[in-house]
Amino acid sequence: MEDLTLALDLEGVLITNAYTQLPRPGLMSFLVECVSIFGQNNLCIFTRVEEQLFRQIAHKLRDDNKVPDWFPDIRYIDWVGEHKDLRFVDDDIDRVIIIDDYPPYIKQSQKHRLIPIKQYTDPYSHESPDDTDDELSFVLKKLLNYIQ
C-alpha cells in the first residue's frame, strides 16, 4: 500500500493522553502491522500535542519497549486550523487514511477517509486504563477491509 499514507492520532488512540502517556494494549504489534501494510515512510502522527512533547512521549514509549525503535522519528504533521485537514498529509486526500477517536476534528468533506476508534479511557479521569482493550486489533481488521 505504498500509495497510501496512514495518519494516526495520538491521545485516546495510541496512548491515554499526553499527561499519563499510558500505551494502549497491543500498540507495539499494531504499529508493526501498520509498517508491514503501509511502509514506515507512509505512517505519520496527526495530533494536537505539540511536536516537542510528542517526541518526548515517543522516546519514552520506545525506551519502555512499548513501540518500535523507529517510532520517535515518525513523520509529524503540523495541525493548523480548527479541523485536521488531510491535505497537510498529502495533496490528494484519497491517498490518506486517518485513525482518530474524535470525528468532529476531521473536516466534514474528508470524513470518508476516517476510520474511527473508541477513545482509550477518558483522558482526564483518574481511572486506570482498560487492560482488556482490543480496539487496535479491531481497527486493524477494519483498516485491512478498507484498503482491499
Q: Kindly state the cell numbers that stand for 136.
A: 487496535
Residue 55 belongs to domain spanning: 5-147
Instruction: Report the number of distinct structural domains present in the chain.
Output: 1
What are the tens digits of pLDDT across the range 58-98? 999 999 999 999 999 999 998 888 899 999 999 999 999 99
Q: What are phi and psi of 141, to 5 degrees?
A: -65, -45
Contacts of 32 (CB under 8 A, 6+ apart): 68
Calculate helix-pair angle for 27-38, 135-147, nearest 10 degrees: 10
Closest CA to 5 of 130, 137, 94, 102: 94
What are the tens digits of pLDDT across the range 6-36? 999 999 999 999 998 999 999 999 999 999 9
What CATH code is carried by the domain that includes residue 101?
A: 3.40.50.1000
